[in-house]
Each structure stands twice: as C-alpha cells, then as structure tokens.
Amino acid sequence: MTWRTVKASELEGRRKLIAHELGARAIKLNRFDNDPGHAGKEHDERGSGHEEIYVAVAGSGTIVVDGEEVPLEPGTFVLVEPESTGQVIAGDDGLAYVTVGAVV
C-alpha cells in the first residue's frame, strides 16, 4: 500500500504516536492533547539527535525554549534544535499540537 490514514480522535491518551500508527519508518510525528494549564516535561533531544518542529492545531499556549517563552498557536511553527531544552505549557483553553522530528 502506498498510503495509510489514522484518525487522532480514535487514539487514546494525551500523547498520540501518529507516525508509529501509520507505520512511518523515517518520520517522527506525535500529537499531544493537553488540558488547560498542563505543563509538559522539559527536555532536549541530544540523545536522539532530533530537531523538532512544534505546530499548534487547536487552542494556544507557549513553548519555553532555553528559558525563552515563545507563543504557540495555530499558524505558528517553532523549530527546536536537538541541543536546546523545550517545554510546552497549555493556555487557558488547552492546547493540541503536533511535533515533527528528524535526525539532523
């Protein structure tokens, strides 16, 4: 088969492993559905070597990159390099976002 689909609404949990569910081999793509005020784990990708792009799909919040707050809302794309630390914090209405990652 040359194409596959998955509906995020049919997957349980806050973190949805979209690329895994699709059977992707080279692409890392996850969706996160965060309740209002939820703060994700601060982390970097030094171990994996992944650079990541964060894309809000609903709601709003911020991503704190190396201590700097960057607005995260639909239409804004944020690239975080592997050596930078990042932490996503959902706003008052919650935040749904996807991350796309690849090895540099």
Q: What is the 3-state secondary structure (H, E, C) of the chain?
A: CCCCCCCHHHCCCCEECHHHHHCCCCCEEEEEEECCCCECCCECCCCCCEEEEEEEEEEEEEEEECCEEEEECCCCEEEECCCCCEEEEEEEEEEEEEEEEEEC
pLDDT band at 13 (very low <50, low <70, confident <90, very high): very high
Predicted pLDDT of residue 41: 93
What domains appear along the chain, each with residue ranges and CATH number? 12-103 (2.60.120.10)
Each residue's pLDDT tens digit, 17-36: 999 999 998 899 999 999 99
User: 24: which 2 tokens?
Assistant: 């992707």
| Structure-model confidence comparison of residues 74 and 1, the more confident one | 74
pLDDT band at 103 (very low <50, low <70, confident <90, very high): confident
Q: How much is the pTM?
A: 0.89
